[in-house]
Chain A
Amino acid sequence: MNRRWYALVAVAALAALAAGTLSPASGQSPIVVGASISQTGRLAVTATYVHQAYQLWVDDVNAKGGLLGRPVTLKVYDDKSDPGTGAKLYEKLIVDDKVDLVVGPYSTPVSAAASTVTEKYKKVMVAPMAAGDALWKRGYRYLIQTLTPSSLYYIGVVDLALERGLKTIAFISEDSEALRVATPAAADRAQKKGLKVVHNEYFPRGTTDFSAMLTRIKALGADVLVCGCYEPESILSVRQSKELDYSPKLLFAGHGAAVPEFYKGLGKDAEFVLASDHWDSRMKTPGNAEFVERFKKKYGREPNYHAAGTYGAMQVFEAGVRKAGSLDQDKIRQALGELDLATVFGHYKVSETGGQIGKTSIIVQWQGGKKEILWPGETATAKPMLPAPAWADRR
């Protein structure tokens, strides 16, 4: 008798716990935007900027009187940079929290899993930070890309190298979805235009030593080094190039080299390094300068492309909802398909599949502690300082 009573209590306790966890939030009159951020895991670097950008957008929209006459609130969870968690997260947002709008997670893998869920419920998902072309080849209808497709990431570097008459190029890239498209696209272009590709290798994420790769590339005497990488590897590749006394005439360190932390971590060694960026604070996109100011005032530092990309995507979403005039997902999808506008992030226009066709990447170079835009020519703010001086010649 005693035993059964205790068993019942235990079961009741577990049930209460389950109910507390799994019970849906109560209904509300504000419009709720559901999003995930990668607070932990390999993408944690991005989380704060992304979260801040969401919050800034929410504040800006509410300051303007809200969306469709209603205030907007935000609901975020941590996707742990993990696709499985991402999928569950969007189930929770849609089914449990019953949010009105969903915005995508950071990175292609997590977006891949999450979009499967949003597609199932026919909820439009604007994916601010998903670049993998493969995502838009699956025949999904409700996924919208605002980021530059990864195939366009690095091609500017090839053009710049050609302009300077450089002859040989080496690629080392992190083995991940976006770069598996970006690097071959750039290598392809290089070969077609007469640059000789002397090395093309992928390394797994978390590699802490590039000395073997760089020793080989140095021995081959490559003029151009393209490191397809993000923050940690960007710093490492430059640092180890210096350590190996390998001075490529053009050193390009991917997207990781475009963030302020890159320069802070390397100091003067970051000079002359080229980076690919999705956005720059000096770009003359509408409202950009004010966006940068507001962000700086609110959060104490300048936004980077994670923040700008997120904010821009929300601007797109906002425009889509206003154009649709309602929260009906099909109407919003249609509106988003028709829109052709410029946000702080850049140009937005999608093809039928929802893939981005308006946005391009920019190539920047660190000159005198600041990033100058080199490519595309129309947006350039300075001339390229190439070839970069050899390490031994720098003070």
Chain B
Amino acid sequence: MPRALLVGLVLGGVGAVPLVANNYVLSVLISLAMFTGLAYAWNIISGYTGYLSFGQVTFFGVGAYTAAVLIIKLHVAWPLASLAGGVLAALLSVPLGWIMLRLRGPYFAIGMLGLSRIAERIAFAWEPVTDGGRGLYLPAVLDLRAVYWAMVLVVAALVGITSFLDNSRFGLRLLAIREDEGGADNLGVNTTLAKLQAFVLSAFFPGVLGGIYAWHVSYVDPVTAFATQVDLTAVVAVLLGGAGTVWGPLIGGVTLSLLAEFLWARFPFIHTALFGALVVATVLFLPKGLADAFRRRGWLAPGRAFLRRLAARQAPLEAAPE
């Protein structure tokens, strides 16, 4: 089946869900889409580039607050406000990335974590804008379908971008950084630029998602906007699905969200422990994620298909010069 038609059918099917699903199902799917989106964003900086970040929620929170302030104080429409959230997050990520990307490995991870804690405190302290610990109250949302479509749109965009990334030179550069940054540098890859580009990409989308989230829940406060749990859940989702792949975050995000929801609904008093057990099991038994397991079974094609095909092409022989 031609690619475009398949994509169109899937998008159509996903988009049609609100017509048959009730609001509870939509809430779950909205949450699912959000975490999948966050997983994709994390996948770019961490899965592909190898810079494992535990602070992407910083940009999520920035997006949430930006959108909230725009909606409340300037009466901006929420889709625009969310985009603005993403833009501001992206702008912030340039200087922040410039600073933070000097760090490697666990230092980068914990550094980003520290950044998210600082962001939370700034949200507490900057009362005139954020109203401190009181939080911001947004107008109520009556139609969940629009929220759902917005989230799905973001996720679709992310899948597309990741797919493009996977098959592009840019993606190769990121992978080179992940595997051996020093070597990549020596080979003339502008690692600083590539890292920064990846970082900005993985900051923009959480910003947008944060804006939509703020609109959806109608309430933003420092603790929920910058919660470390959000980061860690996204990380687990990518790990479950398979980091550095196109379909990993989707598989992981969907599976994890559904499992978490199932546990929460059926086991109200031990769902946290069961989720923890799930995390442990994932790390122990599926270290490379489901995508890798699927690939080895032949259910999924290996990544970077375009580049592989390119590499497999026979180079035309040229006639020797006379």
A and B touch in the complex (CB under 8 A): yes
State which of A10, A78, A96 has its C-beta within 8 Å of the C-beta of B268: A78
Shortest distance between the CB of B289 and any CB in chain A (Å): 14
Shortest distance between the CB of A312 and any CB in chain B (Å): 24
Q: Which residues of A contact B28 (CB under 8 A)?
A: 21-22, 88
- B286-300: CB near A (< 8 Å → 1, else 0) gives 000000000001110
Q: Is B221 an interface residue (CB 8 A)?
A: yes
Is there contact, CB below 8 Å, between A76 and B124? no
Q: Is B31 an interface residue (CB 8 A)?
A: yes
Assembly CA distance A176 to B224 (angstroms): 13
Assembly CA distance A77 to B268 (angstroms): 5
Binds A, one of B92-100, B132-140, B174-182: B132-140
Is there contact, CB below 8 Å, between A14 and B261? no
Assembly CA distance A47 to B24 (angstroms): 24
| Given A95-B22, A116-B141, A14 and B254 contact (CB-CB distance below 8 Å) | yes
Is there contact, CB below 8 Å, between B137 and A205? no
- Which residues of chain B (234-286) have a CB below 8 Å from chain A? 254-255, 258-259, 261-262, 264-266, 268-269, 271-272
Assembly CA distance A96 to B21 (angstroms): 11
Assembly CA distance A84 to B22 (angstroms): 18
Shortest distance between the CB of B250 and any CB in chain A (Å): 12
- A77-109: CB near B (< 8 Å → 1, else 0) gives 110001110011001101110000000000001
Chain B binding surface, main DSSP class: helix
Is there contact, CB below 8 Å, between B272 and A7? no
Q: Is B25 an interface residue (CB 8 A)?
A: yes
Shortest distance between the CB of A13 and any CB in chain B (Å): 10
Is there contact, CB below 8 Å, between B142 and A120? yes
Q: Is A285 an interface residue (CB 8 A)?
A: no
Q: Which residues of B contact A113 (CB under 8 A)?
A: 217-219
Shortest distance between the CB of B31 and any CB in chain A (Å): 7
Q: Which residues of A contact B219 (CB under 8 A)?
A: 83, 109, 112-113
Q: Is A27 an interface residue (CB 8 A)?
A: no
Q: Which residues of B contact A180 (CB under 8 A)?
A: 132-134
Is there contact, CB below 8 Å, between A177 and B217? no
Is there contact, CB below 8 Å, between B265 and A177? no
Is there contact, CB below 8 Å, between B299 and A91? no
Q: Which residues of B contact A391 (CB under 8 A)?
A: none
Is there contact, CB below 8 Å, between A22 and B25? yes
Q: Is B115 an interface residue (CB 8 A)?
A: no
Is there contact, CB below 8 Å, between B24 and A22? yes
- Which residues of chain A (197-229) have a CB below 8 Å from chain B? 202, 204-205
Q: Which residue of B lies closest to A85 (CB)?
A: B264
- Which residues of chain B (8-48) have a CB below 8 Å from chain A? 22-28, 31
Is there contact, CB below 8 Å, between A39 and B268? yes
State which of A18, A87, A174, A176 has its C-beta within 8 Å of the C-beta of B217: A87
Q: Is B213 an interface residue (CB 8 A)?
A: yes
Interface size bucket, B side? Answer: 35 or more
Which one of A10, A82, A83, A88 has the greatest number of beta carbons of chain B within 10 Å? A88
State which of B24, B124, B135, B297 has its C-beta within 8 Å of the C-beta of A177: B135
Assembly CA distance A134 to B28 (angstroms): 28
Q: Is A394 an interface residue (CB 8 A)?
A: no
State which of B23, B134, B142 has its C-beta within 8 Å of the C-beta of A95: B23
Is there contact, CB below 8 Å, between B218 and A112? yes
State which of B141, B213, B269 has its C-beta within 8 Å of the C-beta of A84: B213
Q: Is B223 an interface residue (CB 8 A)?
A: yes
Shortest distance between the CB of A193 and any CB in chain B (Å): 26
Is there contact, CB below 8 Å, between B223 and A202? no
Q: Is A192 an interface residue (CB 8 A)?
A: no
- Which residues of chain A (336-357) have a CB below 8 Å from chain B? none
Shortest distance between the CB of A23 and any CB in chain B (Å): 10
Assembly CA distance A40 to B271 (angstroms): 10
Which one of B124, B137, B216 has the greatest number of beta carbons of chain A within 10 Å? B137
Assembly CA distance A174 to B22 (angstroms): 39
Is there contact, CB below 8 Å, between B24 and A91? yes
Q: Which residues of A contact B135 (CB under 8 A)?
A: 109, 112, 177
Q: Is A290 an interface residue (CB 8 A)?
A: no
Q: Is B222 an interface residue (CB 8 A)?
A: yes
Q: Which residues of B contact A84 (CB under 8 A)?
A: 31, 213, 216-217, 224
Q: Is A20 an interface residue (CB 8 A)?
A: yes
State which of A10, A14, A134 has its C-beta within 8 Å of the C-beta of B137: A134
Q: Is B304 an interface residue (CB 8 A)?
A: no
CB<8 Å pairs between A and B, sample of 19: A14-B258, A17-B262, A21-B262, A21-B266, A22-B28, A78-B271, A83-B217, A83-B221, A84-B31, A91-B27, A95-B24, A96-B25, A109-B135, A109-B221, A113-B217, A113-B218, A138-B140, A176-B133, A176-B134
In the A-B complex, the 7 residue pairs with the smallest Cβ-Cβ separation, listed nearest first, are A175-B133, A21-B262, A96-B24, A91-B24, A88-B27, A95-B24, A116-B140
Q: A20-B262, A175-B133 given; name 7 further pairs at CB < 8 Å.
A: A17-B258, A39-B269, A77-B268, A95-B22, A109-B221, A175-B124, A177-B134
